[in-house]
Amino acid sequence: MDNYSQLVERICRSSGLELEEIERRVEAKKAKLSSLISKEGAAQIVAAELGINFDQERLKISELVQGMRKVNVIGKVIKLSPVREFNKNGREGKVANLVLADETSNIKTVLWDTNHISLIEKGKIKENTIVEISNGSIRNNELHLSSFSDIKESKEKIDKVIAEKVFHEKKLSETKSGEEVMLRAFIVNTFEPRYFEVCPQCGKKATNEECQTHGKIKPIKRALLNLIIDDGTETIRSVLFGEQINKLGLKNEEIFSIEKFNEKKRSLLGEEKLFTGQIRLNSFSNTNELTVQEIKDVNPNELIKELEAKG
């Protein structure tokens, strides 16, 4: 179930109205605003007009929707990254990232307040800690905690959690920047690979055989490949790295030789694949693109079952 469906279901439960009536109001609200807002945004307005307030309600992670504020949630810390210091535009500070999970999904959580971050630095919040969060906000499909938010250890038990990354199957015409999605689409264009070098120890980009962290190194060559994919509703430029390029059926000698790649690329056109990854805004072109994290072949038997279910 996607975010919009979950939100509408909650509105139905809270209002007592039928699903069809809620969806009718959502479409009417979108039409009134000339479709300048998403379905999720229109549903939020409908909820407010019905007097439904989710501010004090604890939500499951799968129910969190882009743009939500005053979010209350409980989950287990399943991944904790080192605290980082930053200096941006003359502003210094610290930031901490963790992944919070419950039995429905998981979400990247970003802590900006030094009091919250100190809980990590002192070891009071670590991997497998159950935490309760209040007054967070959802930005770019991440849970952000400011100084107005609160995070504390919880005594509640969460036995089973969803640890793997969750992708929602969508049509390109329905996607927004920041979303983690799964798309079934055809490859309609390919571009020649671009090559770069990385440090063999940390994997960061190397320049002139030097790494900013490890100094003089013997770099490893890596490739980046751009595709245009089409799912029948829109097209999008997609960016692939590393082994994801191999999953198109390309061998390394066909990736790292422009001549061999050009001999092979025609066979890629018209191939249908399942692409999962994140929709991101390319600041240079000001258009969305898909950073591909996984590619799989389309399973005909699963497609047949899906069509039978819809029928």
Read off the tokens for 43: 């549903």
Q: Please report, for the chain, the start and end positions of each structural domain, with discontinuous segments joined by +.
A: 1-53, 55-164, 168-310
CATH architecture of the domain with range 168-310: Beta Barrel (2.40)
pTM of the model: 0.61
Is the CATH number of domain 55-164 2.40.50.140? Answer: yes
pLDDT by 10s per residue, the chain, length 311: 456 787 888 889 888 899 999 999 999 988 888 766 778 778 888 988 888 776 667 888 888 877 788 889 999 999 999 999 887 777 788 999 999 999 988 999 999 999 999 999 999 999 999 999 999 998 877 899 999 999 999 999 998 998 887 777 888 988 888 788 899 999 999 999 999 999 988 888 888 888 888 889 999 999 999 999 999 999 999 999 989 999 999 999 999 999 999 999 999 999 999 999 989 888 888 899 999 999 999 877 766 665 555 55
Are 47 and 11 in contact, with CB atoms under 8 Å apart?
Answer: yes
Read off the tokens for 163: 């640890």
* Secondary structure of the chain in HEC code, one letter for each residue: CCHHHHHHHHHHHHHCCCHHHHHHHHHHHHHHCCCCCCHHHHHHHHHHHCCCCCCCCEECHHHCCCCCCCEEEEEEEEEECCCEEEEECCEEEEEEEEEEECCCCEEEEEECCHHHHHHHHCCCCCCCCEEEEEEEEEECCEEEECCCCEEEECCCCCCCCCCCCCCEECCHHHCCCCCEEEEEEEEEEECCCEEEEECCCCCCECECCEECCCEECCCEEEEEEEEEEECCCCEEEEEEECHHHHCCCCCHHHHCCHHHHHHHHHHHCCCEEEEEEEEEEECCCCEEEEEEEEEEECCHHHHHHHHHHHC
Domain 55-164 shares a fold with domain 168-310: yes
Q: Among all chains, which residue has been given the structure tokens 């490949």?
A: 225
CA dist., res. 140 & res. 110, Å (int): 11
